[in-house]
Amino acid sequence: MGLRERKKQQTRATLIDAAVGLCLKQGYERTTVEQIAAIAEVSPRTFSRYFATKDAVVMTLIEDVAHAVAAELTRIPLSVPILDAMHRAHVTVLRAAARGELPGLTAERIVLMLRIINSTPVLKAAATEYRPIATVRALADRMGTEVADRKVWMVMSVWTAIIVTACGDLVADDLVAGEDGLPVGADLMASRIDGMYDEFLVLAGQLTG
């Protein structure tokens, strides 16, 4: 990576950190693009070159997870059923992040993602509708079809529902105190997803007879 590209990556990371810090301190709704740019010591115009909106900065936290999941999907044998592979990829990435094994995707970053998104109705709604293109492409490749195939989007919708149901209430440690002895973070997300996926399989069997 050249010097110019490294500077661009550094500016992008600084903007994300500034946005996250402000959102946690004063709330998402009260945080403005101008404030984020000021903390990052850049102009609002520079901000707009990296992110289209304030929402886009925060949603980048989800994209980081999505890129890691997409890469993990390519390492799972094609003999593994589609939803099982999605489950395995997400849990593997979250466990690795919790152990500090994924550069750029830290356990702290996942905690911030959960707390900001789950405590902000507009972001939570956006996250529920969000379909990371990196994961969509990896899933389409795995299914041997095109990104536009409705079956791909159906699988993504089912999997998103599992994650949202499992982790949509993870905001503060005191809300889940005593649950597996885990604080809000990547390990708790992985544990919740494990449990919810098991429940989904049982429910799917009951619904289909």
Q: Are residues 202 and 185 in the same domain?
A: yes
- Domain CATH code at residue 10: 1.10.10.60
Distance CA 167, CA 186 (A): 10
Verify that 20 and 84 share a domain, yes or no: no
- 33 and 67 in a single domain? The answer is no
Confidence class for position 20, pLDDT limits 50, 70, 90 = confident
Closest CA to 104 of 136, 65, 138: 65
Q: Quick check: 127 pLDDT over 70? A: yes
Same domain for 64 and 40, yes or no, is no
Dump strand ranges (E) for the chain. none
- Domain containing 187: what range? 57-208
Indicate whether 127 and 29 sit together in one domain.
no
In whole angstroms, what is the distance from residue 80 CA to residue 71 CA?
16
pLDDT tens for each residue of 24-57: 888 888 889 999 999 999 999 999 999 988 888 8
| Residue given tokens 């984020």 in the structure block | 36
User: Could you tell me the CATH number of the domain that includes residue 171?
Assistant: 1.10.357.10
Do 12 and 84 sit in the same domain of this protein?
Answer: no
| Same domain, yes or no: 40 and 64 | no
Say if residue 179's pLDDT is above 70.
no
pLDDT tens figures, 139-171:
999 999 999 999 999 999 999 999 999 988 887
Domain shared by 77 and 18, yes or no: no
Count up the domains in the chain and report the number: 2
Q: 97 with 114, same domain?
A: yes
Torsion of CA 10, 15, 16, 17, to 10 degrees: 90
pLDDT at 177: 47
Q: Are residues 27 and 86 in the same domain?
A: no
Check whether residue 23 and residue 114 sit in a common domain: no
* Same domain as 129, residue 95: yes
